[in-house]
Amino acid sequence: MENAIHVMSSSGMPALGLGAGIPGSHDNELIEAPEEEEEFDVLNDETFGNCEGDWDEEEHKRFAELEGESFFDLQPPDHTKDSGYGNAERSYRSQEEFLEQSISRLMEEEEDDKAKFFGKGQPIPFSGRQQQVSPKSRNIWGTPSHDSQFRKPADALRKLFDTAKAGQRGAPSPAPQVYHPPMPTQSPVGLPQAHTLEEIERQMMSRSRTPQVITAEELERQMRGEDSPRGEYSRTPQVVNHHPQIGPPPQLPPGLLPASALTGEMPRSPFPPGMPPMPLPHHMAMHPPMTPPPGKPPTGMSPINQHPMANGRSSPINIKGLPPGQNLSSPMGRSSSTPTPPLVRGMPPHFQSPHPARLVSPYSIGNSPMAVNLASRMMTPPPNMPPHGHIPHGPIPHMPPMPNSPMGTPPHTRIPPPSNMQDMSPHSRSQQQHHHVVDRRQEIYSQHGNGEASDKHRAYRTNYQRPPPWQKNQPQRRQHQHPQQGEEVEDEYAGLMTQREKDWIIKIQLLQLNTDNPYLDDYYYTYYTLRKKQEESGHTDSMARFLIPNFAKIESRAYTPAQFEGSLGRLTTASVHNPRHIIDVSGGSSPSEDSSKKNVSKELRKFRQLLMDIEKGYILLLDVDDIEKKVFAVPEDSRLSLFLERHEKICMLYQYFTSDESIEQYMQILSVRKGRKLLARVLPLFTKNQAHVALCILFHHMQALVRKDAAEGGLVSLTRPVCRAMEGSDLESLVRLVNILEGEKPPQTGSYLQTLLKNQFSAAVLCGLLNQAEQVFKDTSPVDMDNQLQTEWSQFVEEFAEGLEKMALKDLPVATFLLPLTEAHLSRHLNAQLVGKVEEKVHRLTTPLQTTASSNAAS
């Protein structure tokens, strides 16, 4: 000790500068030192030139050993913390350490001032050991200015550690160990550095163990230079760390305020910067304190505190080391660790104002002259403060002197806010939540005492007997506050997910909805919205279509991962878009059927094959449809290719229906509903010639179809397309069609008509024929028409009429399709008498009932 003291007295710039303080080896060190000591502080080198020589490696190691011993001696008292997770803590804290150091470098200058401030006559502000060492040494045995200057970097670091650490060090008085008997071998001159090293090392190591929490009171005491009752508070901060909901037990008046928590809270509520720091600490208390600011307590304004973001939601390691202002700008500060760091960084400059208010401890604000400063600073909201940021509380209302526990704050100071709250809209209320937060919580605390807090620590099983903590408060509220309290208790947590986070989620979800092919991915929804839009806009514009954008990109679907030639096996790199191909699942052939069931299966197979064929046809049709939709999305020049493609597809469809093989299958196809539908949809696509041929084929099969269809009547779906297809036909085609209808066999006049007329479809077709014929006759002068055709046609008409006459009215199907010209046509060709006979029936066949459906058909 004596030696140490002696050494201290003679320490100072000269000792360092000359390097004379260290025995012999030091000279060597001087030469060697620079290369070895990269890890030393850069500023150190700049400011002090050779002083890195002071960091004698050997001695350093020795000190480390000693340090370690002394350090470990302290362990026993800290059993609770050292139960094995201490190692993890250490490594975890070392990371913090590095960050803190880097930050400390940023803040060096500022710190130095503060260090000086601290240095002046502060015996033991807090965090016992370290603090005890340095100030004492400085104050007593060295000129403060010299010392602080000399130790600038070291002090800076130390200050960092000191202020950062809460009194976690706990009971054991560090003093004895701190002044571990200095190495007898050390020269006196060298000792000051030794101590410095020692201290720093100790701090480093101890720093790595303690949670970085500083109580607000300690901060305040620092500023005021009072003695702090270390013993009281040394243990409590740890306890507080684990409070999930309620917050620190009441006996922790400073409420374990990580100043960082304060800061974390501030950005969260962009509004009333006037939000008194008073309530803040308690609110902070709700969130387990995180790494405290590397202590710039004086003004408490260190922006560094941002990152700790004491919200208990983010990992304490999550110190982003952001430059001061930025973390503030993180969305509500809360999300610093959550969604994405980029989000954190990119915030709008909203929350600049809380900047000053950041590290304010209630006490400091309350008592120190800084209070006014802070207050005034807090009062100036940033220009772009959100509109809701009206300050209900007025300027710093809640800076009552805090000699005692904030828990015990008289309720009267708490009431004004709530009453204010009541006036506000729920929206603003939720945003002002943190007013309530603190208020409410304080009331809760004050009214419920300590017992509840400790309960929260226990497993919830013990809570079985109690109602959930948030319910407990209800009965004790004053009546008028009762409903409000309940909501507010929820509202306290209401803004946990900030709008930015929500937007982030929404963005991801929208991204997932992006599709190149809405018709493929979400067919029904697509059509639904289209239809809705159409209805909205009135039936004016034609149905808008979703463009199918960027079709060219679809090609990449067939992406096969790169495969390597000449390699053993298949080497592929798996990625998200191209996962490993583990199992080859191809449409395997079904196992052969049991022979006993062969016939049945054969039929089934045939049927399935038929269905498959129809499907193929359908796919062609759908492709045509898609092309039609694609056309709009594609610039003019490329459209041609699409048109060609479409044409090609249509031809294929034509082939589908008219080739020889398919003719054989024709009946089968048309016996399946889907086949009919296919034909119905395809007919309009055909050119006239194609349509004609298709009709011929259809008519060819008409008889058979009708016979088959007698039961089902499914052919009606074809009615309209067939009739439409017939439109525009000339007489010759019509005659041909009729001839086909009559069949090859020698026509029994009218007999074929019987069957045809019975079926709705065929009857409609016949009438359609007549309808079209009338159209033809109307349009062309008799001169142009072929006589023979006319004769044939007239014949047909007569047959038609006669056949119709023979049938009873009731047997005739009712028309669904309006064929206005048929009657006229009949009268053209037939004598009045015959016309009269069949008039009614024709009417029935050609004029649908006046229902909405038929009116649609008419239009």
Partner 1 sequence: MSGYLPGTASLVEEIDKKLLVVLRDGRTLIGYLRSIDQFANLVLHRTIERIHVGKKYGDIPRGIFIVRGENVVLLGEVDTENEKNLPLEEVSIDVILDMQREMQIAKEQEEERKRKALQERGMHFTEQPEDFM
The footprint of partner 1 (CB under 8 A) covers 244-245, 338, 460, 463-470, 490, 493-494, 496-497, 501-502, 505-506, 508-510, 513, 522, 525, 529
Signed CA dihedral, 352, 354, 355, 356: sign only: positive
Nearer to partner 1, 532 or 778 (CB): 532
Rg for the chain, CA atoms, rounded: 46
CA distance 149 to 671: 101
Nearer to partner 1, 181 or 467 (CB): 467
* Least Cβ distance, residue 493 to partner 1 (angstroms): 6
* CB-side neighbour CA atoms (13 Å) of 591: 2
Nearer to partner 1, 285 or 718 (CB): 285
* Least Cβ distance, residue 525 to partner 1 (angstroms): 5
- Number of continuous H segments (helices) and E segments (strands) in the chain: 44, 0
CA distance 811 to 755: 11
Nearer to partner 1, 98 or 525 (CB): 525
> Alpha helix locations (H) across 413-550?
416-423, 426-431, 433-448, 451-457, 469-472, 482-494, 499-513, 518-521, 523-536
Nearer to partner 1, 457 or 597 (CB): 457
Using CB atoms within 10 Å of the CB of residue 739, give its burial: 0 to 12 exposed, 13 to 18 middle, 19+ buried: middle
* CB-side neighbour CA atoms (13 Å) of 410: 6
* Closest of 606, 617, 610 to residue 669, by C-alpha: 610
* Least Cβ distance, residue 494 to partner 1 (angstroms): 5
Nearer to partner 1, 411 or 467 (CB): 467
Nearer to partner 1, 512 or 556 (CB): 512
Q: Which two tokens stand for residue 355?
A: 């900047």
* Least Cβ distance, residue 481 to partner 1 (angstroms): 19
* Least Cβ distance, residue 463 to partner 1 (angstroms): 6
* Least Cβ distance, residue 581 to partner 1 (angstroms): 25
Cα distances (angstroms) measured from residue 247 to each of 312, 393, 398, 502, 664: 12, 24, 20, 27, 85
* Closest of 219, 209, 189 to residue 126, by C-alpha: 219
Q: Which two tokens stand for residue 341?
A: 């760091």
* Least Cβ distance, residue 96 to partner 1 (angstroms): 24
* Least Cβ distance, residue 240 to partner 1 (angstroms): 17
DSSP state of 778: H
Nearer to partner 1, 38 or 536 (CB): 536
Nearer to partner 1, 466 or 608 (CB): 466
Residue type, 660: D
CA distance 275 to 420: 13
CA distance 718 to 711: 16
* Least Cβ distance, residue 350 to partner 1 (angstroms): 21
Signed CA dihedral, 748, 749, 752, 758: sign only: negative
Nearer to partner 1, 29 or 501 (CB): 501
CA distance 336 to 346: 11
Nearer to partner 1, 335 or 775 (CB): 335
* Least Cβ distance, residue 468 to partner 1 (angstroms): 4
* Least Cβ distance, residue 510 to partner 1 (angstroms): 7
Cα distances (angstroms) measured from residue 461 to each of 246, 270, 449, 464, 856: 18, 39, 21, 5, 71
